Structure formats: structure tokens, C-alpha cells
Structure 1
């Protein structure tokens, strides 16, 4: 298993990116300014895009694992890699997600704690309703993890 940085042609992985963010126009807002990584384990299984949000904040904008490979630890491996790679240069890593019974516990298991909410984010920013596990996503839930500089 290896994690590789994608420097060019990030849209090559659009099908994987769309698993985590259902509208390409939203992906376009962060993809080129973000740093993208893929996890390859006899083929690409997962991806992650992170952005510098200023003031020592790194944000996970997109992280996805191919459905056939869920619950194999690939997402957690990517987060562990990102934390190790960026902890010397950032104070906080954050992620915004829908209020989903699958994603919130995943981030909490990775050491993130709920931080704040952006009301009606998914209604105001997406053309079509996003339904996850039979529930329409409305608010963006932010979770964060404090990173320690210099470790």
C-alpha cells in the first residue's frame, strides 16, 4: 500500500471525488488549490484533498473510498498520513460534513471533535438535495482535531 501525491490531472479521479462531494462545481472550488493524495493498494482505493484555510488551519475538503473497499481502513490510513505530514505546519485540521450517522462517527474515531455548524449549507450551495442513508443533508457539521506543532 502506498499514498501518492497527485500533482496534475486531478480530474482523472472525478468519479472518486464525486463519492464525497456530489456536485462537480463544488469540487472545482477547491481541487486546484488543494493538495490531493491517492491511496494505492493494488489499484487506487481512496483519495483525499486538503486545503490551507489560513491561520494554521488545514481542511479536509474531500475524502472518499471506493464503495467495495469501505471498512478496510483506507480512509483512516489517509487521515493518519495527512496528520503526520502536516502536523508540523498546522495548528488544527478540520473537516466539514453532513450530519450523517456514518461519517460523523468515522471522524470521531479518528480523533476529531464537533466544532461548529453552518446552517442550511447543503440547501444553499447544492443544486439538488443530497440524501445520505435516507436523510436529506441540510447543515454542514464541522469537526476539528488539534495538531501539535513540532512533533
Structure 2
């Protein structure tokens, strides 16, 4: 049975999996405490995690999403994104994220309905203490994506105060 639950204490216990989505612990620690961590489990086995943050102006940011290697390419990442979208529709207007310009991640987010909305040049070179490679490609620029969540944001589900 697949379950998704929010974890509010001892978030760093999921660091090993979070490092699959963001390779530098120092970067993860910048958003982990202020973010909301969601953990997907199959029975008692952790399959995937994600962290979202309130960036103000009814904008939610997906800071990290990671699927355990043995559960990859089985729809768990897409299901976790769908869960976040459903949970926060009504409280937020849009969901944003930034990722490396990788042949693995860019098509994934496009298939999930995100659209490119910008580029931050040299983000991975300027902000990480080591080169990051994905699918044999060194990540340099951050590709920014967004997805509209609702036209009636801020009116139902969870209040902004509960989300922060």
C-alpha cells in the first residue's frame, strides 16, 4: 500500500534520499527547516520524498524531489508531484521549480505539465562546491519551470498560515 505523509520532525533522517535530488547537503539545509517534507512509502519502505516551500505571492516551490533508485521510472515521482498539486491547489496560485539542464529531468517536468519560464545562468557552477553531472552532462544553468495550480487560490484547503 502506498501512503504519503508529511514529516515535521527529524527531517535530516531523510538526507540520504534528499541527496539524490540535490547533491550538496549544505544546499538542502538552506531550505529543509523552512520547507514541508512529504514522504511516500510502500508499506514501510520509503520510496520518494519532496520538500516544498512557500515563496510568497501565492507561489509554492518544489525545492527537492527524489525517488529511491529501486522505485525510479515507476510513476512515484509523478504521483508525489500530483499529491502536492492536489494538496495545495486553492491555497497557492502556482508551483515553481528549478532543475539542471539535463536530458533526464527536463522531459520529466514537461511531462508533468510544467512549462519553462526562465534560466539562471551558471547556477550550479556558482552555488555548488563540486561539478554536478547528470546523464553524462555537467549541469551549469538552472532551468526554471512553473505550473498554474488554480484560479481561486487563497480561498480554501489550507490557509497560508498553516502552510508556512
TM-score normalized by structure 2?
0.90
Structure 2 unaligned blocks of 5 or more: 154-164
SS of match in other structure, 1:30: helix
Matched residues in 2 for 1:148 and 1:18: separation?
Answer: 31
Equivalent residue, structure 1, for 2:161: none
What per-residue deviation string (whole Å, max 9, x for no partner) do you get for residues 97-123 of structure 1? Answer: 000111111111110000100000000
- 1:4 matched to 2:12: no
Output one character per residue of 1:32-63: Cα deviation in whole Å (capped at 9) or x when no partner: 00000000112110000000011111000000
Task: Answer yes or no: is the 8 Å Cα contact 1:64–1:75 preserved in 2.
Answer: yes
Partner of 2:78: 76
Q: Could you tell me which residue of structure 2 aligns to residue 103 of structure 1?
A: 105
For this pair of structures, how many residues does the alignment match? 151
Tell me how far apart the structure 2 counterparts of residues 115 and 70 of structure 1 sit (CA, whole Å): 26
2:19 is aligned to 18
Alpha-carbon deviations, 1:115-137, whole Å to 9, x = none?
10000000000000001111110
Tell me the TM-score normalized by structure 1. Answer: 0.98
Q: How many angstroms apart in 2 are the aligned matches of 1:107 and 1:134?
A: 19
- RMSD between aligned alpha carbons? 1.0
Q: Which runs of 4+ in 1 moved over 6 A?
A: none
Tell me what 1:137 maps to: 139
Where does structure 1 lack aligned partners over 5 or more consecutive residues? none
